[in-house]
A and B are shown apart, each in its own frame.
Chain A
Amino acid sequence: MDFKELAENVGVEEEEYLELIELFIETGMSDLDTLYSAIEEGNGEEAANAAHSLKGAASNLGLMELYEAAKKIEEGILNNRLEETAEDAQALKEKLDIIAEYTRG
């Protein structure tokens, strides 16, 4: 992952971008928690909001894989396939973990 290039695309300094990524991981994890429990409780609205929040932040930071994953979940929920999204949520979590790992390394 080339943070320098990503930062340039977004229009911020690399240092600022890394701060944004850290914040993204933090809020992303919390969105994921919300997403998981909302799926469990069958609360479609809350689940969709959490996925939407992740999707927007990922796209702003140019993290396209995460964006696509979150978008898939949001669309799934909006199309009344809430139960099926648990698997997609897991895939999203793995991608988020990879980025978290990467920034630490």
Chain B
Amino acid sequence: MERDARKCEEAGFDGFLSKPIRRGKLYQIMERLLGEGEDTHDKDERVTQQIMTQYSVREDMKHSARILLAEDNPVNQKLATILLTTAGYHVEVANNGKEAVEKYMASPKDFDLIFIDVQMPEMDGLEATKEIRKWEAKLIAHSSQLKGKADSDITAMSFQLSARSERVPVVAMTAHAMKGDREKCLEVGMDDYIAKPIKREVVYEMINKWVFVGHEGYNGF
């Protein structure tokens, strides 16, 4: 396998996948190749462009987006999970807003983006987002205060370690089609909005827009 990859590289191929082709791998390799292509225009110092194989793709997947999916309906939950995992993303499911808030607060650094249903039992998506934003604001304020003090206190350090430097992107998913819904979502601190039915391309676009754009190595496509 490795030797095949090398042969292909020598022959000038940019990518190498062995059959049977997995959809997730294919997307990943396309994502990488299209992104890398743009990269080389900007960066002349990139002399050797490495051939992409499923091994390097798998390596990349470790840094792939980690999604917190808050959705109460089992069908929507399963569909979104299939679409996300097929594309190589990690998914953690929360069954309602309350669970989403708890999971996020327990390990904020483990999530790159939250997809959240607006209408849910226990706590809806709007309420949950409000809670998350309130908590983030407190945490960020607290950690910047501590930074200024040059404190060696262990709790201070752990605070800094657990705090994100920025707020997590929150994207609403809703079957509401009423005017003003978008505004309501943005008002509580959500960043974007997807109308159901969930469209695969739109989901990927959102992840690309809110997680990868601006990060090193990803220029968007």
Contact = CB atoms under 8 A, between A and B. Distances in A.
B76 A12 contact: no
- Prevailing SS type, chain A contact patch: helix
Given A11-B83, A59-B196, A53 B78 contact: no
Contacts of A10: 79, 197, 200
Interface in B111-143: 119, 121
Contacts, number: 52
A20 B86 CA distance: 15
A103 to B, nearest CB: 14
Nearest to B204: A11
B15 to A, nearest CB: 22
A53 B73 contact: yes
A62 interface: yes
B198 interface: yes
Contact of A56 (B76, B86, B199, B200): B76
Contacts of B74: 23, 26-27
Nearest to A57: B75
> Size class of B's contact patch?
10 to 19
Contacts of A27: 73-75
Contacts of A53: 72-73
A62 to B, nearest CB: 7
> Size class of A's contact patch?
20 to 34
A56 B79 contact: no
Contact of A57 (B73, B121, B199): B73
A73 to B, nearest CB: 13
Contacts of B198: 60
A16 interface: yes
A56 B82 contact: no
Contacts of B30: none
Interface string A1-35: 00000000011100010011001101100000000
Given A19-B78, A23-B74, A27-B74, A60 B119 contact: no
Interface of A: 10-12, 16, 19-20, 23-24, 26-27, 49, 52-53, 55-57, 59-62
